Structure 1
Amino acid sequence: MTRLALFDLDHTLLPIDSDHEWGEYLVRTGAVDAAAFKRANDDFYAQYQAGTLDPVEYLEFALGTLARFPRATLDAMHAQFMREVIEPAILPQALALLRQHQDAGDVVAIVTATNRFVTAPIAAALGVTHLIAAVPEQDDSGRPTGKLRGVPTSGAGKVTHTHAWLAALGTPLESFESSHFYSDSHNDIPLLSVVTHPVATNPNAALSAHAALHGWPTLQLFND
């Protein structure tokens, strides 16, 4: 039987938060008003860390920023972001963990709350075909409208989207011999709780405590 391996992205496979770093990149390159954007971006990040973030409010803030630019400009910006920020953050130990599951023939997917515009090139750079991420609404030219399609891919939404993705593949979760989910955050406890092998990976304090209480293994990929 086939096995399933799911991975969160930020602070799990990457030692950074790609969503927050994208905002920092926009500030650094002068693409947005530095003071106003950085203040909002930092506030949302603090809410995420505290588990109080309204995901729709945040995503439509982030997607509204994307809507300011033509698609070709966005793609050029993201290519620079990949070179300067993401590629140096792709570390061999994360690639080795992914390859371990891929070489075993497991179905591998990244399940992230960050939007697909930011994360699709990152998943490709990591060699992962399947990506579950927040989907920006787009117009006919491929330009984001600033709105979110469907429900967020965060918290319990990760469970909903994972089940929908697996149903589309014709392989419901219970059909797998085993299922892993690697995550750093207590925000992902809903999905960690429905797989057969939850792994607290580079866990924050809240997830570390929850993992210890429930006997979940802990994996430290990074030193930070």
Structure 2
Amino acid sequence: MTAAPKVAVFDLDHTLINTDSANGFGLWAHEQGLWPIDDLHGQLAHWHRLYGEGRLPVAQYLDFIVSPLANKAEATVAGWVADFAKARVLPHLRPQAMDALRRHQDQGDRVIVSSATIAPIVGGICRLLGLDDYLATDLEVNQGHFTGRPQGIPNLGQGKAWRLAAHLGAKPVHLSAYSDSINDLALLSLADQAHAVTPDPRLAAIAEVRGWPIHHW
């Protein structure tokens, strides 16, 4: 019997990189004068805290984080993200996480990045890293411009598991999954081999009970 193809899925923020790409992009855009908003640091910290506690009001958060892209051309935003990623993401790569990703590639495994962050940011970072298979929270586009609204199922929580299952299709695979966050428990629970990467306390406790490897990268 032919062995099932192998797939490795990696979370982005605090797994492949040791920073938050959505918050980082927001702060970068603010510094460039692209998102003039009062107390941005405080608002981002508020949303980040709710996400970490598993209490994020998703629709409200997406309205907020997508707002600076409303009516902007896809090509314009792609240029912004490319500049941001070079300046603020590349210095924050986790070398050991990237080594694990490259090992999967060298073994012929399919590698997918799956992130709750909005797709223009995730796509730009993945392009910079030479990765073309990713899942993210999609945005609505009309005639080449972002409308400022999300589209489809947000790629977080249970949605991450649903989106990955749909992306992989019906054929069986051997799945490895890497994440730092309790918010990705549904995704990790899908995997044949789950890996907790510098996990938050709740995920660390579950990983300990379930016997999942814990990596302090």
Band of TM-score, shorter chain = over 0.9
Q: Which runs of 5+ in 1 are unaligned?
A: none
Q: In 1, distance between residues paired with 2:153 and 2:179?
A: 20
- 1:145 is the counterpart of 2:141: no
Q: In 2, distance between residues paired with 1:92 and 1:26?
A: 26
- Alignment-derived partner of residue 195 in structure 1: 191
Contact 1:23 1:38 in 2 (8 A): no
Deviation string 1:5-47 (CA, Å, 9 cap, x unpaired) is 1110000000111111111112222222242433322211111
What percentage of residue pairs aligned between the two structures are identical? 33
- Alignment-derived partner of residue 64 in structure 1: 67
Shift of 1:91: 4.1
Shift of 1:79: 2.2
Moved more, 35-44 or 2-11: 35-44
**Candidates 122, 126, 138, aligned match of 1:123:** 126
When the two structures are superposed, what TM-score results if normalisation uses the length of structure 1? 0.89
Contact 2:71 2:145 in 1 (8 A): no
Shift of 1:74: 2.2
Q: In 1, distance between residues paired with 2:71 and 2:44?
A: 17
**Candidates 151, 157, 164, aligned match of 1:155:** 157
- Alignment-derived partner of residue 88 in structure 2: 85
Amino acid at match of 2:201: A
- Alignment-derived partner of residue 108 in structure 1: 111
Q: In 2, distance between residues paired with 1:151 and 1:183?
A: 20
- Alignment-derived partner of residue 182 in structure 2: 186
Q: 1:97 to 1:19 in 2, by over 3 A?
A: same
Q: In 1, distance between residues paired with 2:45 and 2:32?
A: 17
Q: In 2, distance between residues paired with 1:158 and 1:72?
A: 27
Contact 1:200 1:211 in 2 (8 A): yes
- Alignment-derived partner of residue 207 in structure 1: 203
Contact 2:15 2:94 in 1 (8 A): no
Shift of 1:202: 1.1
When the two structures are superposed, what TM-score results if normalisation uses the length of structure 2? 0.92
Deviation string 1:133-188 (CA, Å, 9 cap, x unpaired) is 11100111x21101111111101001110111111xxx53xx12x21100000000
Q: In 2, distance between residues paired with 1:57 and 1:71?
A: 23
How many residue pairs are counted as aligned between the two chains? 214
- Alignment-derived partner of residue 41 in structure 2: 38
Shift of 1:131: 0.3
Contact 2:34 2:68 in 1 (8 A): no
Moved more, 198-207 or 58-67: 58-67
Q: In 2, distance between residues paired with 1:94 and 1:7?
A: 9
Q: In 2, distance between residues paired with 1:213 and 1:93?
A: 24
Shift of 1:68: 5.1
Matched residue of 1:150: which SS? coil
Amino acid at match of 1:38: H
Matched residue of 1:35: which SS? coil
**Candidates 99, 119, 126, aligned match of 1:96:** 99
Matched residue of 2:140: which SS? strand
